Chains A and B, each alone.
Chain A
């Protein structure tokens, strides 16, 4: 009955776990994407109604109760745009980090940044 909600909760947990447990920044980003996707799934599940049809109005008398709620879909289109923009900025940052420090492992990265701060500026 409520399986989709459990899937959404499972994905949320998986995303959070990946963000916390992994030292690699790319994997953290992947965890973040899973986390965001879980929320999109949650919104879409909210809009679904048993026995209802797609929210496309055809000529003739309209009965609102026969349609699924289109609003969460519209909201999630916006959320997906936000998600794409966030991932884009994150990937750009990761590319520049890797170009400069040669690693995306969090602890190695911290060491190399600290080492750089100790050296006098060129």
Chain B
């Protein structure tokens, strides 16, 4: 019986968690962390159960409130959405476990507000992924975004300006998306994705359709931080508090990337428009320019932020190449990037908490923080794309797709991106391992942070080992749904 509820279960768990944390946590701040981790952990279990269920029994649909689609709002659990929900919920669980100490230090007795907002944000991300309704996606985009703005601003100081910039650009992105949905609704009279997908072929020649597709895609590209619309991303990631950056860098842009893939390949399918071409070029430009900018940064967090711009380029490139292998590779890269980027931001946070400065060359972990440094190394290997880490396999599939579609420029961009990643990650890890510690006795972070870091590092290696099985069972069927 509970199987029928699987599509909405992760969402309901995190939302209920947010409510409980905000009510109980204000009275007793100590219960906020255990409650939040329990809620998001339960959501992760439900999301993983959703993947297993989809692999075994196929797509599951849930009509919210008993209103049948296309009138009511539908929540859909298919191979793609179940996979993305599991990625978001699992990475969010690891970052919230690791957040315990830094959040307690930063927020003191108001720490419950942080966990409540984080859970609301995760609810928003899960909602974007689960929803089968165009307008409902807008609502969840904004639920996630408003919580994210507040979380980024919570550091005070320079983060306030970064949060305002993020807010203005994010709102423009969401408004563009809403305008696009309005045009498509005026054209087809439906908001349900499956219904819309069935009606699109009849109207795909209309100028209104072109406008709708354009606004929807530009809006989602802003939310995703796709080059050249990534203006909000570096400042927000640099100035936000550590646990917030780890959470947002891990999952926020991925939920928007998912929405972009869903619209382009499963709902609107604008075959007559040069959308794949635009995504391919934007992806290639993002990979190279993001990588070059990352190389030029002195602040480690800003370097990781530009590295995110570069890695999101790989995901967009996969969407643009438009073969089953390319799409599946891009989905795998979503998972890899979520895991490794959350891990790297936690490493920087741990180094700063131990007294280091957040500069690439001066992290000074030395040999005093072996666990943190080892996790940084694993994530760096994955970022560069070396086996056996997960990052190698997603880049390999993307490379294969670029060769298959005979795009020499895409092949070059993927390889240059990896070289750039090797260069900037080398500076980063070299500083961690070789630089002498500039201060007395830094040590590994508290157990909660180590558990989070080790989980993410182990996941990086596990993804590498299990990537073939993951591709066959989940990702290739998910990509096949697009063709």
Contact = CB atoms under 8 A, between A and B. Distances in A.
Interface in A15-43: 16, 19, 25, 28-29, 32, 35-36, 39, 42-43
A32 B175 CA distance: 10
Given A32-B168, A42-B182, A93-B167, A116 B157 contact: yes
A89 B146 CA distance: 7
Contacts of A43: 182
A35 B161 CA distance: 21
A82 to B, nearest CB: 5
A50 interface: no
A25 B178 contact: no
Contact of B158 (A92, A94, A113): A113
B172 A96 contact: no
Contact of A35 (B157, B158, B164, B172): B172
Contacts of B168: 19, 28-29, 32, 90
A96 B156 contact: yes
B24 interface: no
B134 to A, nearest CB: 10
Contacts of B142: 82, 85-86
B278 to A, nearest CB: 21
Interface in B117-172: 135, 138-139, 142, 146, 149-150, 153, 156-158, 160-161, 163-164, 167-168, 171-172
Given A78-B139, A96-B153, A100-B157, A86 B171 contact: yes
B412 interface: no
Contact of B135 (A39, A75, A100): A75
A57 interface: no
B186 interface: yes
Contacts of B172: 16, 19, 32, 35
Question: DSSP majority for the B interface?
Answer: helix
A91 to B, nearest CB: 10
B185 interface: yes
Contacts, number: 78
A25 B164 contact: yes
A28 B150 CA distance: 18
A8 B171 CA distance: 18
B160 A36 contact: no
Given A35-B175, A113-B161, A82 B139 contact: yes
Interface string A83-119: 0011001101110110010000000011001001100
B171 A97 contact: no
B179 interface: yes
Interface in A37-54: 39, 42-43, 46
Interface residues of A, number: 33
Contacts of B186: 46
B242 to A, nearest CB: 16
Contacts of A97: 160-161, 164
Nearest to B178: A39
Nearest to B170: A86
A96 B160 contact: yes
Interface string B179-215: 1001001100000000000000000000000000000
Contacts of A36: 171, 175
Nearest to B167: A90
Given A32-B172, A36-B171, A89-B167, A100 B182 contact: no
A89 B150 contact: yes
A14 interface: no
B160 A93 contact: yes
A46 B186 CA distance: 6
B149 A117 contact: no
A13 interface: no
Which of A19, A86, A96, A100 has the most CB atoms of chain B within a 10 A radius of its CB?
A86
Contacts of A86: 142, 146, 149, 167, 171
B178 A79 contact: yes
Interface of A: 12, 16, 19, 25, 28-29, 32, 35-36, 39, 42-43, 46, 72, 75, 78-79, 82, 85-86, 89-90, 92-94, 96-97, 100, 109-110, 113, 116-117
24 contacts: A25-B164, A32-B171, A32-B172, A35-B175, A39-B178, A46-B186, A72-B182, A78-B135, A82-B142, A85-B142, A85-B146, A86-B146, A86-B167, A89-B153, A90-B149, A90-B164, A90-B168, A92-B153, A93-B149, A93-B167, A94-B164, A100-B157, A113-B158, A116-B157
Given A39-B178, A86-B146, A93-B163, 15 more contacts: A12-B179, A25-B164, A35-B172, A42-B182, A46-B182, A78-B139, A79-B178, A82-B146, A86-B142, A90-B149, A90-B168, A93-B164, A94-B164, A100-B157, A117-B158
For the complex of A and B, 9 pairs with smallest distance between CB atoms: A82-B142, A97-B160, A46-B186, A113-B158, A93-B164, A93-B153, A89-B149, A43-B182, A39-B179
